[in-house]
Amino acid sequence: MKRIEAIPLRHARAPEADFLVIGSGVAGLRAAIELSRHGRVLMLTKGHPLESSSSYAQGGVAVALSEEDDVAIHLTDTLKAGHGLCRHEAVQVLVEEGPDRIQELIAWGARFDKIGGKFAFAREAAHSRSRILRARGDATGNEMVRVLMAQARRQKTIQWLPHHFTIELAVVERVCRGALVLDEVTGDRFVLPASAVLLATGGAGQVYARTTNPPSATGDGMAMAFRAGAILEDMEFVQFHPTALYLPSSPPFLLSEAIRGEGGQLRNIKGELFMRRYHPAGALAPRDIVARAIWSEMAATRSRHVYLDVTHLDPAFIKRRFPTIYSTCLRYDIDITEEWIPVSPSAHYMMGGVKTDTTGATSIPGLFAAGEVACSGVHGANRLASNSLLEGLVFGARAGLAATAFARRGAGSSLPLPSVRDLDEGPLGTLEDADKLRSSLRRLMWGKVGLVRTGSSLVSATAQLSRWARAVAQPFGTRRDLEVKNMVQVARCIAEAALWRENSVGAHYRADASELTRSGWSQHSRIEQETLVTGLGRLRTLRAEAGSRKG
């Protein structure tokens, strides 16, 4: 994968800013570019600015730009994949504004793959048209981040503050006024004021023992928004990617769905092709169906994996089309042009998150969210492949515009900024064995709140998570401890929402309650704090409005 040049630190001390953007993936960068036209922007990132899931996105970006496609077809495919729980208006925004956002990216220098001078559109599961744009074969996210980072660096009103962990949102009288931040190097804690704050912190895959997400995906934005009083929605919908490399000695590595789009086949441990037994589309069935089919085959054959087979495809084509995947597997002594690839499902993407409207506004004035941390209703119960990068572009730009409009109104500008002591609400503690708790949490979530769930497994998980919640219900002074606290928070929300939804739909599969049309199936789950108290607080799960039944 091509290396992206790191951004130099432009300042010795944190500058004042009109807007705080927390996170530096596609959504955060696009939002920052929009905000930079209207004021000073400070981008906060824990660790390095390039530590985002966006940079690792392989498959591509879905957009209706080909001659055989149009936005109405893209909308229908997205609604169908979402199993009736997408918000129609959010999907319409995505597919209608998506082409302009992609053309804008191309104008800024994005180089998507072409064949004969025309864009090489690929097809992935559940897409009825070839609409997936890709870059350098399987490095699309990396290319998009490269271009957005370069564009952001041209804006003199954007500054970066890397290696700064955002601990809490500064909320006064229900208005977000800034954030409490930890300097990861010095350990200093300080409050940064802002006229508006935009969350673009990504997902929470690290709450699971097997995940395609980078180590930084610990659900920080969802956790801090919850503690601040924001509504979290549809947290039970966690997408498990069907095909992650399975090797006992290596972490899961994503094997793009585009491989199956190009003709890759799935075989069980006996070498049998099995997907036609589960869905007419075979290996190109929707992700939730493919993942559960693999899970079933693993159980039936008592194996830890199945195989992804591309040995029947032209080796030169494979090397050219999937250079990152080919070279990565080769490092683990697997030549995918000659050998079947051992794969199994891994936690991949959060469809749920901080509830927003189509402008990125959350339930807290002054707080906006975009990208995987947010739940705009685009994905419903199961994300259509390659819609996530487009979502980051479209809703990142929209959230930037909405945050600008909020700041212009001056709402909450007269409210006092809370101090560090006000936000900490107590002395700093230290987790006795943070690594052990983190590992135990990930195993619990994988085993009891994973791809296949039951009422009894969820009851057991929520009980244990409640006990861990009490153990971390205090302020902490290190990134490691704070991440574990956030992981417990988010895991608890996922488990509570999964326990509430007593039916199977999309990525949420209850082995003990499989009827899709059970009463209330089309409702969205909502979780918020019952009372704003110190620590993690109590959870309240509510039914919300019905999802879209169109498509």
Q: pLDDT tens digits for 228-282?
A: 999 999 999 999 999 999 998 777 888 988 899 899 999 999 999 999 999 999 9
Q: pLDDT tens digits for 287-325?
A: 889 999 999 999 999 999 999 999 999 999 999 999 989
Q: What percent of the chain has pLDDT over 90?
A: 77
Q: What was the pLDDT predicted at 414?
A: 76
Q: What was the pLDDT predicted at 539?
A: 56
| Nearest-angstrom CA–CA distance, 319 and 323 | 5
Q: pLDDT tens digits for 46-68?
A: 987 766 655 555 568 999 999 99
Residue 182, C-beta contacts closer than 8 angstroms, at least 6 positions apart: 164, 165, 166, 167, 188, 189, 477, 478, 479, 482
Q: What was the pLDDT predicted at 5?
A: 39
Instruction: Give the β-pairing of 175-183 and 164-172.
Output: antiparallel
Please report, for residues 306, 330, 507, the alpha-carbon distance to residue 347 in angstroms, rounded to integers and kept in the order given: 17, 23, 11
**β-sheet with 232-233: strand ranges across:** 374-375, 353-355, 232-233, 523-529, 539-546
Q: What was the pLDDT predicted at 128?
A: 92
Reply yes or no on whether the pLDDT at 12 is more than 50: no
Reply yes or no on whether the pLDDT at 182 is more than 50: yes
Q: Report residue 10's pLDDT band, with 50, 70 and 90 as the boundaries.
A: very low
Q: Which domains does the chain have, with CATH numbers?
A: 243-347 (3.90.700.10), 425-543 (1.20.58.100)
Cβ pair 136, 143 in contact under 8 A: yes
Please report, for residues 167, 184, 192, 324, 481, the alpha-carbon distance to residue 477 in angstroms, rounded to integers and kept in the order given: 9, 10, 17, 38, 7
Which H/E stretch holds residue 423? Answer: helix 420-424
Q: What was the pLDDT predicted at 465?
A: 97
| Nearest-angstrom CA–CA distance, 165 and 163 | 7
How far apart, in Å, do the first and last CA atoms of the chain sit?
37
Structure tokens at 543: 């039914």
Q: What is the mean pLDDT of residues 166-188?
A: 95
287 tagged catalytic: yes
Catalytic residue among 30, 287, 292, 383: 287
Reply yes or no on whether the pLDDT at 452 is more than 90: yes
Q: pLDDT tens digits for 372-431?
A: 999 999 999 999 989 999 999 999 999 999 999 999 998 777 778 888 888 876 789 999
Q: How many residues does the chain have?
A: 551
Residue 275, C-beta contacts closer than 8 angstroms, at least 6 positions apart: 265, 266, 282, 283, 285, 290, 293
Reply yes or no on whether the pLDDT at 2 is more than 60: no
Please report, for residues 220, 265, 316, 407, 485, the alpha-carbon distance to residue 326 in angstroms, rounded to integers and kept in the order given: 33, 16, 11, 48, 37
Q: What percent of the chain has pLDDT over 70?
A: 90
Cβ pair 468, 485 in contact under 8 A: no
Q: What is the mean pLDDT of residues 504-512?
A: 92
Q: Report residue 541's pLDDT band, with 50, 70 and 90 as the boundaries.
A: low
